[in-house]
Amino acid sequence: MALARATVLGDDANTGKRINNCELAPVPREELKMIATLEQAHVANSAGTDAIVAGLDGVNKNYGDVRALCGVNFRVRAGEVVALLGPNGAGKTTAVKLLLGLLQPNAGKVRVFGGDPTNPENRMRTGAMLQVGRVPETLRVREHIDLFSSYYEKPLSLTEVLAAAGLEKLSDRKFGELSGGQRQRVLFALAICGNPDLLFLDEPTVGLDVEARRMLWDQIRRLVGKGKTVLLTTHYLQEADALADRVAVINKGEIIAEGTPAAIKAHTAGKKIRCITKLTIDVLRGIPGVTEVKEDREAVELHTGEAERVVRELLARDPNLAGLEVTTAGLEEAFLALTQEKNGNDGN
């Protein structure tokens, strides 16, 4: 299955400064108003034919000289779960904040439900779980939920929200008394309490232990089963794989690949083989299929795309081999591979 390549949007308008190929030119206000109105009219006319609920179109976002997003094209379609996968600092949170109307782009368009994300009516239909440093700790769980529910037109009942977030027994607990996993579930509850059509989850399980993470995944899956649209950001390939229909890989402000989780995983199919062996580095490098050899204290680490073949060879050559471990290559190696490929393709 081919992996769709995202391209950086080439701009023909050549006004303003260029920082790292990202244009910073603003368009005069009157022109903007007219364009926006025409576009709204167009969207209204073609309602129903366009299933895109949110999107970034040629978006640049800079913080001073730092380029957070460059020429990003990204769509979220109705009813799907999309994961934005990338390392820290890739621009995932920036993308989410743009879609939530918390930030304005330096160039390009941000559209949610066919309109501007700062439109209050859009906020009625979206819910957001963001990374928060501090939530008011003296309020109880049910009080937080009660307050947020009041903002929405047709919120879920408190019981429903508590059940959906797995907080039934914690309703009266003050936020400050909760564990990390429980706090994340409260933030999740606040995101879903308004029964939104579109849900943004920014690194929902960061900092959680394995059990808490699995529990939150279950809860997200249950929601997704009800036909909501979800945009999820994460730096865990596993999480994207577990929850998403479609994954967009983002690195350094650019989307470098898009596809199903299976396609992304196949692309990052490199494996690491770790073992304690008497074979020397040179010999190991000579084994067909081995791309790299590293020493790691008393053991060696081999990188390869053909794990089974290499393992067979190792065991044949060294029957006393010990401490054998075979793991998938990390996300960083995968990003490296994807970025190199993209640069290779673009450079031609």
Contact with other proteins (CB under 8 A) among 13, 47, 210, 316: 13
Q: How far is it, in rounded angstroms, from Cα 241 to Cα 224?
A: 14
Tally helices (H) and strands (E) across the chain.
12, 15
32 contacts other proteins (rule: CB under 8 A): yes
Looking at the Cβ atoms of 86 and 194, the one nearer to other proteins is: 194
Q: How many CB atoms lie within 10 A of CB 13?
A: 9
Which of 222, 161, 231 lies closest to 197, judged by CA?
231
What is the bridge-based pairing of β-strands 254-259 and 22-23? unpaired
Looking at the Cβ atoms of 107 and 216, the one nearer to other proteins is: 107
Stretch that binds other proteins, among 107-115, 224-232, 236-244, 315-323 (CB under 8 A): 107-115
Q: How many CB atoms lie within 10 A of CB 103?
A: 19
18 contacts other proteins (rule: CB under 8 A): no
- Minimum Å distance from CB 281 to other proteins? 43
345 contacts other proteins (rule: CB under 8 A): no
Q: How far is it, in rounded angstroms, from Cα 178 to Cα 208?
A: 13
Backbone angles phi and psi of 320, in degrees to 5: -95, 15
118 contacts other proteins (rule: CB under 8 A): yes
148 contacts other proteins (rule: CB under 8 A): yes
58 contacts other proteins (rule: CB under 8 A): yes
133 contacts other proteins (rule: CB under 8 A): yes
Coil/strand/helix, residue 199 = strand
- Minimum Å distance from CB 48 to other proteins? 21
Question: Binding string, 184-223, against other proteins, x = CB under 8 A?
Answer: ---x--x---x-----x-----------------------
Q: How far is it, in rounded angstroms, from Cα 50 to Cα 280?
A: 60
What residue ranges bind other proteins (CB under 8 A)? 9, 11-13, 23, 25-27, 29, 31-33, 35-37, 40, 58, 63, 68, 94, 97, 100-110, 115-121, 123-124, 126-128, 130-136, 138-139, 143, 146-148, 150-153, 174, 187, 190, 194, 200
